[in-house]
Amino acid sequence: MADLDTLRTRFARTLEAARGPAGGPDPAPYAEDLLGRWREPQRRYHTVEHLTAVLDRVDVLEQYARDPEAVRLAAWFHDAVYLPDRSENEERSARLAERALREAGLPDAKTAEVARLVRLTVTHDPADDDPDGMVLCDADLAILASPPSAYAVYTTAVREEYHFVPNDAFRTGRAAILRQLLALPRLFRTPYGAEHWEATARYNLAAELEMLSLPPLDAS
């Protein structure tokens, strides 16, 4: 279980550091709104546990970021709007970041950077000269490099989020996503991600794709 008090403290520290000496409103209401969103009942994978994991991985990759606090804020907002049956979640999350962070006292340039990073999670394909994008995308995709048991929990949670999709359609769509990921020259763009996560993630993705290619257990 995620420690909500620790998350509240982490958000406050991040926002205060990003705002600088000019300060702004109390971070607490913004943290509560975000945590409420991350705890919505339709979520099975995109939960506060996922948020915590991404923030922890940003900490691991911080040395590669140009603006670690902007990356951390983008992690908070990257799935803040999440409805599994909608395709514009990242855009709506980015717009939420723009509204909330301006109100919270973040400078316009940094607010725009956070929103840009959130939008980047649509493709997880940062440019070679985008270290902040590399850190956020690597942190978000690091789940793919989990040990087999944890990877199985992840895939089960994803399926539960899409419970309304028929099995055949889900298998087809999921397989297409896996092929797209495997076709990327690099899943992870930071040196740490390339060294520690790339090979395991590719193994997991290939194994899941192979499983999806098998006939369903209830097939005649």
Cα 86 to the center of its chain, rounded Å: 16
Break the chain into its structural domains and give their ranges: 4-127, 144-213
The three-class DSSP label of residue 46 is: coil
Name the pTM for this structure.
Answer: 0.95
**Structure tokens given for 72:** 């951390």
- Residue 89 makes CB contacts below 8 A (sequence gap 6+) with 79, 81, 82, 83
Confidence (pLDDT) at 215: 77
- Residue 95 makes CB contacts below 8 A (sequence gap 6+) with 115
Residue 65 has what DSSP assignment? -
Confidence (pLDDT) at 214: 85
**Alpha-carbon separation of residue 5 from 44, 45, 46 (angstroms):** 21, 21, 19
Task: Report the run of H or E that residue 5 belongs to, with start and end.
Answer: helix 4-19
**Structure tokens given for 178:** 């896996």
CB 89 within 8 A of CB 82: yes
Q: In the block, which residue shows the tokens 């520290």?
A: 13
CB 82 within 8 A of CB 94: no
Confidence (pLDDT) at 218: 59
Q: How do the pLDDT tens digits run along the chain, 220 residues long?
A: 679 999 999 999 999 999 999 899 999 999 999 999 999 999 999 999 999 999 999 999 999 999 999 999 999 999 999 999 998 999 999 999 999 999 999 999 999 999 999 999 999 999 999 999 999 999 999 999 999 999 999 999 999 999 999 999 999 999 999 999 999 999 999 999 999 999 999 999 999 999 998 877 654 4
What gap in Å lies between CA 138 and CA 144, rounded to an integer? 10
Q: In the block, which residue shows the tokens 């929990």?
A: 153
The separation between the first and the last C-alpha atoms of the chain, rounded to the nearest angstrom, is 40
